Amino acid sequence: MQRKHLLSLIVILLIAVMALAACGGGQATEAPKQEKPAATEAPKATEAPKEEPKPTEAPKEEGVKPADEIVVYNWSDYVAPEMYDMFTEQTGIKISEDNFSSNEDLLAKLQGGATGYSVIVPSDYTVYIMIEEGMLEELNHDNIPNLKNLDPEFTKLYYDPGNKYCVPYLWGTTGVGYNTELLENPPKSWEQIFKAKESDPWYGRMTLLDDVREVFSAALIQLGYDNNTKDEAQLQEAKQLLIDAKKGLAGYDTDNYEDLVGAGENLLAHGWNGDFLQAADEYGNIDYYIPEEGGTIWIDNMCIPKGVSPEEKRAAEMYINFVLDPKVGDMLGEYNYYATPNKASLEIADPEYKSNPLVFPPEEIRAKLHFIKPLGEFESVYQRMWDEVKSAQ
Ligand code: SPD
């Protein structure tokens, strides 16, 4: 073979070998690509920045790799069903939930040293207490660009001005829900509830929330007092009212009260508007109202407990940012029948949701609603009286 032909043959062989190698190697590198979560292929607003800090740069917080998994410590039945899966699809971060039944339970659990929660959902006055006690991480607003979607009204809250520590989640009211099939004329007032007569159909077939501040608020409001009173005589009066009311109660319940009303086991219950309205969808026989003396109004918030790792904090901020997305906020509010503090969500919300007076109470009802406020040391007086109510025969 001539040298020229030999060279051509070698070149052809080389090209063929390289082409074969390219085919085989391509398959090997493509396979893991398919296993990546979809979100890594199409960046979304809830994703962590992908850029690694340059080796010479001091690591920035936004460069922190988010944790693979977070736990939200939340009230029960307080998300939209598909929310957590959506978050995982978008970010690759797994999410699970544990539940508490009252602000006091949440506070006691964290004060007792519980760890492992990346996001918690306390109400307004409890946020204030937690900030005072140094129990919350400061939020890095750079990691929560969707904060811009909040209604400005929710950025000036007394318990956390400027949302330094927490972001409002949903807000609602506390009143009375009743079974419309079994109770034609529900009691209009707290007085008819606390002073129920044996002849009243709801006697023995109603529950109060298992929640010290909510129950004392209802009693104090019925008596015409400030629901945050620090006057011990007024509080004693409220305590006695609650003790006398016990004979007409089926019990205290925070977890199933709306189902018991829907199922007809109880006729009415003290509880949260959205819980009753969700149950109304299921049972078709529940209505909700604020008794004529008034009720409470509250704002629940997403916060990060002190002591989480930087990775968990980063993932928690991604979750908070995700909830603040207009569509997610709308889905959350509409599914739960609680009011969203997200202005951008409201702009796209169903008109039926926005105009529901049981979700967004009109001015004449708003005027009768009172926030539960932090009371400092005096909180323990409420707790002592609550223990006395609970243990009274
Ligand atoms: N099912 C979720 C109910 C949330 C209620 N949080 C309000 C607490 C007000 N004290």
pLDDT tens digits along 4-50: 343 333 333 333 333 333 323 222 222 222 222 222 222 222 233 33
Q: Which of 78, 169, 277 to mutate to test the pocket of ligand 1 (most atoms within 8 A of CB)?
A: 78
Task: Specify the pLDDT at position 312.
Answer: 98
- Helix axis angle, 212-222 to 232-245, nearest 10°: 100
Ligand 1 pocket, residues with Cβ under 6 angstroms? 75-78, 123, 214, 272, 275, 298, 300
Residue ranges per domain, the chain? Answer: 69-169+300-359, 172-297+373-391
Task: Specify the pLDDT at position 63.
Answer: 78
By C-alpha distance, which of 215, 357, 238 is closest to 296? Answer: 215
Q: Which stretches of the chain are DSSP H helices?
A: 3-35, 38-41, 83-91, 103-111, 124-132, 190-194, 212-222, 232-245, 257-262, 273-283, 310-323, 326-336, 343-348, 351-354, 363-366, 379-391
Task: Specify the pLDDT at position 170.
Answer: 98
Task: Specify the pLDDT at position 44.
Answer: 25
Cα(180) to ligand 1 centroid in Å equals 23
Task: Specify the pLDDT at position 162.
Answer: 98
Cα(296) to ligand 1 centroid in Å equals 11
Task: Answer whether 104's CB lies under 8 Å from 209's CB.
Answer: no
The residue whose CA is least distant from atom 3 of ligand 1 is: 75
Task: Specify the pLDDT at position 121.
Answer: 98
The model carries a pTM of 0.84
Task: Specify the pLDDT at position 6.
Answer: 37
Cα(268) to ligand 1 centroid in Å equals 18
Task: Specify the pLDDT at position 179.
Answer: 98
Task: Specify the pLDDT at position 240.
Answer: 98
By C-alpha distance, which of 114, 120, 100, 147 is closest to 300? Answer: 120
The 10s digit of each residue's pLDDT in 200-225 is 999 999 999 999 999 999 999 999 99
Q: What is the DSSP string of 330-380?
A: HHHHHHHT-B--BHHHHHHS-HHHHT-TTTS--HHHHTTEEE----GGGHH
By C-alpha distance, which of 237, 228, 240 is closest to 298? Answer: 228
Domain boundaries 69-169+300-359, CATH class: alpha beta
The SS3 of residue 184 is: coil
Give the total residue count for the chain.
393
Six token digits for residue 111: 């004060």
Extract the residue ranges of the chain whose pLDDT is less than 50: 1-60
Cα(44) to ligand 1 centroid in Å equals 31
Task: Answer whether 103's CB lies under 8 Å from 126's CB.
Answer: yes
The residue whose CA is least distant from atom 6 of ligand 1 is: 300
Cα–Cα distance, 237 to 235 (Å, whole number): 5
Which amino acid is it at 367? Answer: A
The residue whose CA is least distant from atom 8 of ligand 1 is: 123
**Closest atom, ligand 1, to C-alpha of 372:** 10
Task: Specify the pLDDT at position 277.
Answer: 98
Cα(9) to ligand 1 centroid in Å equals 80
Say whether 172-297+373-391 and 69-169+300-359 share the same fold: yes
Work out the angle at residue 204's Cα, subtended by the Cα atoms of residues 203 and 205, and round it to the nearest 5 degrees: 90
Please count the other Cβ atoms lying within 10 Å of the Cβ belonging to residue 239.
Answer: 20
Q: Which CATH architecture has domain 172-297+373-391?
A: 3-Layer(aba) Sandwich (3.40)
Cα–Cα distance, 67 to 49 (Å, whole number): 14
